[in-house]
Amino acid sequence: MTAPLHLIPLPGLPLVQAGDHLASLVLDGLARADVSLKPNDVLVVAQKVVSKAEGRLVFLRDVEVSPEAAALAATVRKDPRLVALILAESRRVVRALPGLLIVEHRLGTIMANAGIDQSNVAPPDAAAALLLPLDPDASAARLAADLAALTGVQPAVIINDSFGRPWRHGTVGVALGAAGLPSLVDARGRSDLFGRRLEASVIGYADEIASAASLLMGQADEACPVILVRGLRWTVDATPASTILRGEAEDQFR
């Protein structure tokens, strides 16, 4: 029988600032929720708080706009300073239309605006933008190690971000970074209910956990950036979120 899965929001986390020690803030949230870490616990952390702690907030007044960024900004009808940041964080532009700028991020992910966000990052009059962490998998591993050092229990950590989908409306949570659990679970070779051998089933394990946590995190003013997920079990080795990305040779749409 499948065991129950519990998702526990950690209340009362303050607005994170550059240099904040995320592990300490998470422990404070665990204490307020009256829970302690256990083996196989997974902490799903919103990308924004990780980026803020790592000092990835940029004020647009400090951005220099190149001629390339200015020309692209005119096409997509976006702030040229924001477009300059997007280009700086990207390998290539995938699609540029009025109101739409899709790029291949330097981490290899195809995404709108290079994942740069202006919601819930600073007051509107501050004109700021938040970049993704430099290395989300490393960020997840550091947080897991810091928590282990403080508690003696090392949880798995997923850094969660909201992605749109090219053929479906709406955003969903995905694993931008991961440590301590398998990001993919290969079920090929197992049998289905009728004994048929599975040939193509690879489960996006970290993405599914991130998406579940997103239901509690919210997208607006919920202010719930850390979710404890309890009840999961896995038997395969941990792999980072970078293993989720298809390589160029596997890309059927490029």
* Separation CA 51–CA 143 (nearest Å): 13
Domain with CATH 3.30.1330.100 in the chain: 6-55+134-244
H/E run at residue 71:
helix 67-76
For residue 171, is pLDDT > 60? yes
Question: Quick one: how many helices (H) and strands (E) in the chain?
Answer: 6, 12
Summarised one tens digit per residue, pLDDT across range 65-79 is 999 999 999 999 999
Taking residues 201-229, report their average pLDDT: 87
Domain with CATH 3.90.1660.10 in the chain: 57-130
* Separation CA 239–CA 183 (nearest Å): 5
Q: What is the pLDDT of residue 79?
A: 94
Q: What is the pLDDT of residue 165?
A: 84
Q: What is the pLDDT of residue 116?
A: 93
Q: What is the pLDDT of residue 194?
A: 63
Query: CA–CA distance from 15 to each of 20, 32, 39, 213, 241 (Å)?
Result: 10, 16, 28, 19, 26
Amino acid at 198: L
For residue 221, is pLDDT > 60? no
Q: What percentage of the chain has pLDDT greater than the value 90?
A: 74
Instruction: Give this prediction's pTM.
Output: 0.92
- Look over the chain and give the mean of its residue pLDDT values, rounded to a whole number: 90
Q: What is the pLDDT of residue 247?
A: 80
Q: What is the pLDDT of residue 201?
A: 74
Report which of 147, 133, 135 is spatially closest to residue 180, judged by C-alpha positions: 147
Indicate the CATH number of 6-55+134-244 among 3.30.559.10, 3.40.47.10, 3.30.70.580, 3.30.1330.100.
3.30.1330.100
Taking residues 203-222, report their average pLDDT: 86
Amino acid at 160: N
Q: What is the pLDDT of residue 113?
A: 94
CATH superfamily of 57-130: CofE-like domain (3.90.1660.10)
Name the pLDDT band for 230 (thresholds 50, 70, 90): very high
Summarised one tens digit per residue, pLDDT across range 102-157 is 999 999 999 999 999 887 676 666 789 999 999 999 999 999 999 999 999 999 99
H/E run at residue 90:
strand 90-97
Q: Are 40 and 227 in contact (CB under 8 A)?
A: no
For residue 195, is pLDDT > 70? no
For residue 218, is pLDDT > 80? no
Name the pLDDT band for 215 (thresholds 50, 70, 90): very high
Residue 250: what are its φ and ψ, rounded to 5°? -95, -5
Q: What is the pLDDT of residue 188?
A: 66
